Amino acid sequence: MITGTPKPIEEILEMLEPYDNIIVAGCHGCVTVCRVGGEKEVQVLASTLRLAREAAGRTITIREVSLERQCDPEYIEQMRPYVGDYQAVLSIACGAGIQFLAEKFTTTPLLPGINTGFLGVTVRQGEWSERCQGCGDCVLHLTGGICPVTRCAKSLFHGPCGGSVQGICEVDKEVKCGWQLIIDRLKALGQMENYGKLKPYKGWNSSRDGGPRRIIREDMI
C-alpha cells in the first residue's frame, strides 16, 4: 500500500490560516489501511482543527468527507456539487489523490494534510516498511524476491558494499543490509548462480526520470 504520516498539526494550522470554511477529505484506500487518511482520521483531524482554531479565537467550518478513492475520477466527482461552497480542501489522501483532486477542481486550493511515504507493507500494527520504489523494471526473480533498488541504501546491483557488517547496513543500525538478505535468500533457494552474474546497467527511464510515467493498456480502453 501507499503509506504516509500525518503532517504536524502546527503546519496544517499554518496552511489553513487564510481559510474559515473548508473540506477535510479522506480516502478509503491505502491511507485508511495505514490509518493516516481514512474516515476516522478525517473526524479526528476535523475535531482537532476546530478545537485549535476556536481556542485561538477564530472558528473554522469543516465539512468532513471520505471518498472511496481519491485516485479515481468517479469518486472525485461526488464532491463536485458542493466543493465550490468551500474555500479550500485539505486532503489526507496520498500525494496522487491530492493532486488528482487539484486537477479536477481547478479553482479550489488543495492542501496536503499528510506526508506521503512509500510503497510498503505492514510489519506490525503501527510499523510500515518500504518494499518497492516502483522503478518499472522488476528483477525480483534474480534477487531472491528482495529488491536491491529499495532494500540497498545505494541501490547497488552487485552488493553488498564494504559497509555491510553482520547483516546490518552502515547507514542505520535499524536497517538490514539488503544484499545480505538477498544472499541469504538465494542460498536458501539454491540460486547462488544468480549472484555471480554481471547485471546490465539499469534503465532508469522506466523509473522516476522521465516525467510522470503512464501505463496504457489498450486491451482495457
Partner 1 sequence: MLPCTGRIDESLLLKAFENGADGVMVIGCLEGDCHYVSGNIRARARVERVYAILERIKIGPNRIRMYNLSAGEGSKFAAFANEFVDQIREIGPSPINLVRAGNQGVTEKEAT
Partner 2 sequence: MKSGSNLEKVLAAGHFSVTAECGPPRGADPDIVRKKAAFVKGNVDACNVTDNQTSVVRMSSLAGCLLIKEEGIEPLIQMVVRDRNRIALQSDLLGASAMGVRNLLCLSGDHQKFGDDPQAKNVFDIDSMQLIHMVKTMRDEGIFPSGDKIQGAPQFYIGCAVNPFADPFEIRVPRLKLKMEAGADFVQTQCIYNMEKFKKYLELAKQEGLPDKIKILAGVTPLKSAGMAKFMRRMVAGMDIPDEVVNRIAAEPKEKQAAKGIEMCIEQIQELKEMEGVAGVHVMAIEWEEKLEEIIGGAGLLPRPVMA
CA separation for the pair 210, 154 (Å, rounded): 21
CA 188 to chain CA centroid, nearest Å: 32
* E strands in 68-162: 88-91, 110-112, 114-124, 127-132
Per partner kind, with CB cut-offs from 5 to 8 A, the member of partner 1, partner 2, none near residue 57 is partner 1
The binder of 44, among partner 1, partner 2, none, by C-beta within 5 to 8 A per type, is partner 1
Query: Is residue 76 classed exposed, middle or buried when 0-12, 13-18 and 19+ CB atoms within 10 A define those classes?
Result: buried
Q: What is the dihedral of CA 39, 88, 93, 127, to 10 degrees?
A: -80
Among 161, 191, 194, 206, binds partner 2 (CB under 8 A): 161
Q: Which of 196, 214, 215, 219 is the binder for partner 2 (CB under 8 A)?
A: 196
Binding of partner 2 by 202 (CB under 8 A)? yes
Q: Which residues lie below 8 Å from residue 211, measured CB to CB, with a gap of 6+?
A: none
Residue 144 partner contact from partner 1, partner 2, none using kind-dependent CB cut-offs of 5 to 8 Å: none
A 10 A CB-CB count for 175 gives 14
Q: Indicate which single residue of 1, 15, 43, 87 sits in contact with partner 1 (rule: CB under 8 A).
A: 43
CA neighbor of 195 nearest in space, from 128, 127, 142, 146: 142
Measured from the CB atom, the residue of 131 and 199 that comes closer to partner 2 is 199
Kind and range of the H or E run holding 148: helix 148-151
Q: Is 40 in the site for partner 1 (CB under 8 A)?
A: yes
For residue 102, the partner it binds in partner 2, partner 1, none, with Cβ less than 5 to 8 A by kind, is none
Q: What is the CA radius of gyration of the chain?
A: 22
Q: In angstroms, what is the minimal distance from the CB of 121 to partner 2? A: 24
Residue 142 lies near partner 2 (rule: CB under 8 A): no
CB of 13 to partner 1, least distance (A): 8
If one asks whether residue 165 binds partner 1 (CB under 8 A), the answer comes out as no
Q: Which residues bind partner 2 (CB under 8 A)?
A: 153-167, 170-171, 177, 180, 183, 195-196, 198-199, 201-202, 204
Q: Which residues bind partner 1 (CB under 8 A)?
A: 9-10, 40, 43-44, 47-48, 50-52, 54-55, 57
